[in-house]
């Protein structure tokens, strides 16, 4: 039996009552009517306060039984019954309020648990999806680089690739955004039988003799024993001793080279492999692999180095001896260089190639004063007239206005760059737009301003520069026209100079 104890004074307006030896026993009959009766109060309850008791656990008033109420004889029984009914109604209200509160608590608890459960499910789903994404990404990276390795082999070596044994060759890095990015590389597994491959036993690399270096490139002097692989690819060259037991330049990437450098390097190998032999283009002699499994590109060795350093180093000689027929380098040699370079670019434009990096630093000169266009890392073959790219490492000072504005490249943007190359050559290696920040170049060009005529530059050469720098691409000459212009300049000013001997 559950008993609730409540002082009667709480329900009778705090009336003062006296203790009594009698009590009123109330019974609820089947008609829910209260009937009073008297019985004596046990001795052990005489000193207690007056209470009411209930028998059951339910809050339903209909099931409530009032077992005993202690009262004062001064209280009228009918008044007591009336007050008791009011009290029971109040109790019912309290019980209902308690029930509502309990239901509210239970409902809130249920909602809270449901929300927590839902959050748990969402968290599990997110974790699973992230795990699945990483798994798929890992697989894609593996598949991509596996495919990329095969593509690299095709690019670098051409023809069919035979896998004979497992050997690691480092050709690129996995893309990632972590602190150890520079240390993560993907290794391709293969061994190659190919016409372009030179056994490393027949190659000597002179690491102490660095011929040049770029942002992500080192070039060392080397030596090839026997015939270079190019003689196998182009048998007509085998009859010449030019590429037998010859010196070569060995181009390789440093350990800090990023993904873009690797991609450009592979692109350069692919492009050079596709080229036919041309006297004014640097030739790829072959490819080899060093002890650390790095790919090495073997190209022609040019004794005099790049054209930019050559004209800088020979500036005084050219100025002081430009009329001296016995001088090693004269102004007319510079004009001949200009024609040779335009001849090589005419060939490239004829096969739909956009070089995108025509500059004096990318022209090599051999001991016979023959210029050869090099560095094909940015070369692109395009079927359309305009090629669009957003490369992050582009030579801004050599770029045409349309390239600076919208990253558009074409044969005519190479013509613009060729005009800047002429400025470099006839200014003896001055930096173009040295008086401007790179961010100011486009504004300078849009105003119609152009580079000034170098001090020792012939007027007809400067006129050609200005033609190359026409703002409207269609107004610029093509390389066939440039070759013709320079041929006329050589014949009219220097007689039979022998500029055709390179062919």
Catalytic, 245? Answer no
Residues 204 and 316 in one domain: no
Q: Which long-range contacts (CB under 8 A, 24 or more apart) does 321-325 make?
A: 322/456
Q: Does residue 104 lie within any of the structural domains?
A: no
Residues 230 and 336 in one domain: no
Token pair belonging to 296: 């090495």
Q: Among candidates 404, 377, 368, 302, which has minimal Cα distance to 501?
A: 368
Q: Among candidates 3, 5, 7, 37, which has minimal Cα distance to 22?
A: 37
71 labeled binding residue: no
**Domain stop point among 284, 300, 316:** 300
Q: Does residue 175 lie within any of the structural domains?
A: no
What pLDDT is attached to residue 247?
95
Q: Among candidates 334, 302, 335, which has minimal Cα distance to 315?
A: 334
Q: Does residue 381 lie within any of the structural domains?
A: yes
Alpha helices in 275-408 (DSSP H): 307-313, 315-320, 331-350, 401-406
Residues 330 and 272 in one domain: no
Ramachandran angles phi, psi of 218, nearest 5°: -125, 140
Give the count of domains, the chain.
2
Q: List the CATH number of the domain containing 249.
A: 3.30.200.20
**Domain stop point among 259, 277, 300:** 300
What pLDDT is attached to residue 34?
45
Residues 336 and 420 in one domain: yes
Each residue's pLDDT, cut to its tens digit, for the chain (503 residues) gives: 333 344 444 444 444 444 344 444 444 444 444 444 444 445 554 444 444 444 444 434 444 444 444 444 445 555 555 655 666 666 666 566 666 667 777 777 888 888 888 888 898 988 887 777 766 655 544 444 443 444 444 434 444 333 333 333 333 333 343 334 334 333 333 333 478 999 989 999 999 999 887 767 899 999 999 999 999 888 887 667 789 999 999 999 988 888 888 888 888 888 888 888 899 999 999 999 988 888 999 999 999 999 999 999 999 988 886 555 555 688 899 999 999 999 999 999 999 999 999 999 999 999 999 999 998 867 766 544 454 555 556 789 999 999 999 988 999 999 999 999 999 999 999 999 999 998 999 999 999 999 999 999 999 999 999 999 999 999 999 999 999 999 999 998 876 555 444 44
Q: Does residue 437 lie within any of the structural domains?
A: yes
**Domain stop point among 300, 317, 339:** 300
Q: Among candidates 278, 298, 254, which has minimal Cα distance to 371?
A: 278
Residues 330 and 428 in one domain: yes
Bridge partners, 153 (sequence order): none
Residues 213 and 347 in one domain: no
CA distance 358 to 312: 18
Q: Does residue 130 lie within any of the structural domains?
A: no
What pLDDT is attached to residue 252?
92
Q: Does residue 99 lie within any of the structural domains?
A: no
Residues 317 and 272 in one domain: no
CA distance 150 to 439: 41
Distances (CA, A) of 425 to 71, 98, 204, 428: 125, 98, 34, 5
Q: Does residue 250 lie within any of the structural domains?
A: yes
Residues 256 and 321 in one domain: no
Q: Does residue 465 lie within any of the structural domains?
A: yes
Domain of 372, in residue numbers: 305-491
Q: List the CATH number of the domain containing 358.
A: 1.10.510.10
375 labeled binding residue: yes
Residues 235 and 354 in one domain: no
CA distance 195 to 9: 114
361 labeled binding residue: yes
The distance from CA 189 to its chain's CA centroid, rounded to whole angstroms, is 25
Residues 416 and 375 in one domain: yes
Bridge partners, 170 (sequence order): 187, 294
CA distance 6 to 73: 20
CA distance 157 to 151: 10
Residues 295 and 321 in one domain: no
Residues 316 and 197 in one domain: no
DSSP 162-197: ---S--EEEEE-----STTGGG--EEEE-----TTB
Q: Which of 357, 383, 471, 492 is catalytic?
A: 357
């Amino acid at each position: 039996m559950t008993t609730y104890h409540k002082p009667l004074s709480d329900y009778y307006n705090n009336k003062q009552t006296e203790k009594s030896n009698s009590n009123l026993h109330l019974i609820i009959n089947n008609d829910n009517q209260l009937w009073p009766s008297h019985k004596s109060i046990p001795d052990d309850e005489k000193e207690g306060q007056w209470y009411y008791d209930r028998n059951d656990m339910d809050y339903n008033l209909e099931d409530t039984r009032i077992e005993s109420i202690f009262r004062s004889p001064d209280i009228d029984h009918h008044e007591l019954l009336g007050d008791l009914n009011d009290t029971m109604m109040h109790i019912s209200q309290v019980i209902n309020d308690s029930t509502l509160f309990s239901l509210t608590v239970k409902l809130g608890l249920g909602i809270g648990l449901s929300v927590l459960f839902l959050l748990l499910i969402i968290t599990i789903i997110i974790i699973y999806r992230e795990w699945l994404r990483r798994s798929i990404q890992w697989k894609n990276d593996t598949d991509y680089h596996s495919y990329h390795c095969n593509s690299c082999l095709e690019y670098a070596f051409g023809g069919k690739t035979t896998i004979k044994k497992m050997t690691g060759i480092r050709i690129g890095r996995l893309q990632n955004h972590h602190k150890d990015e520079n240390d993560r590389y993907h290794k391709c597994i293969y061994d190659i039988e190919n016409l372009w491959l030179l056994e490393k036993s027949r190659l000597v690399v002179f690491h102490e003799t660095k011929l040049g270096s770029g942002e992500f490139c080192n070039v060392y002097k080397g030596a090839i024993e026997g015939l270079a692989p190019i003689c196998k690819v182009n048998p007509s060259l085998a009859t010449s001793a030019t590429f037998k037991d010859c010196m070569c330049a060995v181009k390789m990437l440093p350990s800090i080279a990023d993904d873009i450098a690797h991609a450009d390097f592979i692109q350069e190998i692919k492009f050079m492999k596709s080229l036919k032999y041309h006297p004014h283009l640097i030739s790829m002699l072959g490819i080899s692999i060093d002890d650390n499994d790095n790919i090495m590109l073997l190209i022609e060795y040019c004794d005099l180095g790049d054209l930019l350093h050559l004209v800088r180093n020979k500036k005084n000689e050219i100025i002081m001896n430009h009329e001296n027929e016995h001088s090693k380098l004269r102004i007319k040699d510079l004009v001949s260089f200009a024609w040779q370079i335009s001849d090589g670019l005419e060939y490239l434009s004829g096969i739909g190639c956009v070089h995108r990096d025509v500059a004096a630093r990318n022209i090599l000169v051999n001991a016979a004063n023959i210029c050869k266009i090099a560095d094909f890392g940015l070369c692109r073959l395009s079927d359309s007239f305009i090629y669009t790219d957003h490369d992050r490492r582009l030579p801004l000072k050599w770029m045409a206005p349309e390239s600076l504005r919208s990253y558009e490249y074409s044969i005519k943007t190479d013509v613009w760059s060729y005009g800047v190359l002429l400025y470099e050559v006839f200014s003896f290696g001055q930096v173009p737009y040295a008086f401007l920040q790179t961010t100011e170049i486009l504004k300078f060009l849009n105003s119609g301003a152009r580079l000034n005529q170098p001090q020792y530059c012939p007027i007809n050469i400067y006129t050609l520069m200005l033609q190359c720098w026409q703002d409207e691409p269609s107004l610029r000459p093509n390389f066939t026209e440039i070759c013709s212009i320079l041929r006329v300049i050589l014949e009219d000013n220097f007689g039979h100079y022998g500029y055709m001997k390179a062919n």
